[in-house]
Structure 1
């Protein structure tokens, strides 16, 4: 089975890393990267779709059919913006985008990158964590084949990445120490990408994937490819 995959957030570190891993996998036939600006990458399997308004996909719906999976890696920090704007970008935009894909591709697997600390109860004190939790929970209600919520902590970029978050460059030396001491909070972006490919092609019984689940499913993909 080959996969046709839609990826958002490829102008950011997570989406770029997931995209790189998908493009390197021989079982991936095509990657459609949807973003507001070019991501700076070229590849025979990569198609870029530049679209300014993720809340309104009417004009590009015809280009979004026939896909097996969507890896939603777009996101924004809650720092420096109002609660209303954070909810609009994190919840409203994500659900609107996903609802369109569910209508067009009901057999699609949808994976959403929320992050470590997300509050699935929607009852905690942290606004960003509650908002992410509500987004996870309501995505699960959409009529996809399967939905998975990814909660990685610190992630190690792939070689050749051009969209690395600035502070990761300064704290990269912490990664091997953190991985050894607290493996659930440290993943490579290769693992995140491989894990998404695994859950897209295999039945997986957990909705939420923390660091350890991401590592385990990534290892299963590698093992099954040998």
Structure 2
């Protein structure tokens, strides 16, 4: 299996881990990482093409050509602030540009949009905590779900939404403690568990369009266990 992946948000906790796990995955043959600034320490990896994008609403022809032929995208560009430009305009601009490259494809393009566990799609629902942020992210989910129905995609675009719980880092005291307290509830998930779950979903699809915290946790834990078992067998 070969897979060409587009990835955003690589300087964040989630996107950075997705990038590392993608580069380790033998089935991911190339990664085009779209970033707002250079990341010199990553520039030399043979599978990685790091592209600095000055404006995520503008895609020059040479960049479109570079993106063409990708099999999937994991959109990790999100912030706790809920910036409407970042949450709504950026992914929409990418989708509209990339859709033009889909004509003639034999397989569907998998787009995975990462948000968070507390996101709210109902714009009229009263919320006590971070209402505007949660609703903007909900608008972002609906926007990308609706885009899959746009005639411009020729029926070749599939949107998957991932809503992880709190993301903690493996090997840190706080991260391991939080993962232990969260148990199997999905309240917390290690960044490596989330990353492999997202990669697996974008490569192999998902029966559910919305991946909730527990589903992501279970999927990630199973995949990490499989990795460990394989490494032990190869020793």
Quickly name the TM-score band, shorter chain normalised: 0.7 to 0.9
Equivalent in the alignment of 2:134? 129
Q: TM-score, normalised by structure 1?
A: 0.82
- The reply to whether residue 142 of structure 1 matches residue 159 of structure 2 is no
- The aligned counterpart of 1:164 is none
Q: Deviations over 1:52-93 (max 9, x none)?
A: 1001113421111010110111122228xxxxxx21221112
Alignment pair present for 1:117 and 2:118: yes
The match for 1:87 is 84
Superposition pairs of residues 1-226 of structure 1, within 5 angstroms: 1-39=1-39, 40-41=41-42, 42-59=44-61, 60-78=63-81, 86-105=83-102, 107-124=108-125, 125=127, 126-143=131-148, 144-157=156-169, 171-172=174-175, 174-180=177-183, 183-219=185-221, 221=223
Partner SS for 2:10: coil
The two structures have a TM-score, normalised by structure 2, of 0.79
Is the deviation greater in 210-219 or in 134-143?
210-219
CA spacing shift, 1:18–1:4, aligned 2, 3 Å: same
Bigger CA radius of gyration? 2
Q: 1:123 to 1:224 in 2, by over 3 A?
A: farther
Contact 1:197–1:221, Cα closer than 8 Å, also in 2: no
Q: 1:170 to 1:78 in 2, by over 3 A?
A: farther
1:220 positional shift: 5.5
User: CA deviation digits over 1:186-205, x for unaligned, max 9?
Assistant: 11222222212222233422
Unaligned runs of 5+ in 2: 149-155, 231-235
Q: 1:76 to 1:203 in 2, by over 3 A?
A: closer
Kindly tell me the number of residue pairs found equivalent between the two proteins: 210
Query: Are the equivalent residues in 1 in contact too, given 2:160–2:211 (CA < 8 A)?
Result: yes
For 1:27 and 1:216, locate their aligned partners in 2 and report how far apart those are by CA, in whole Å: 21
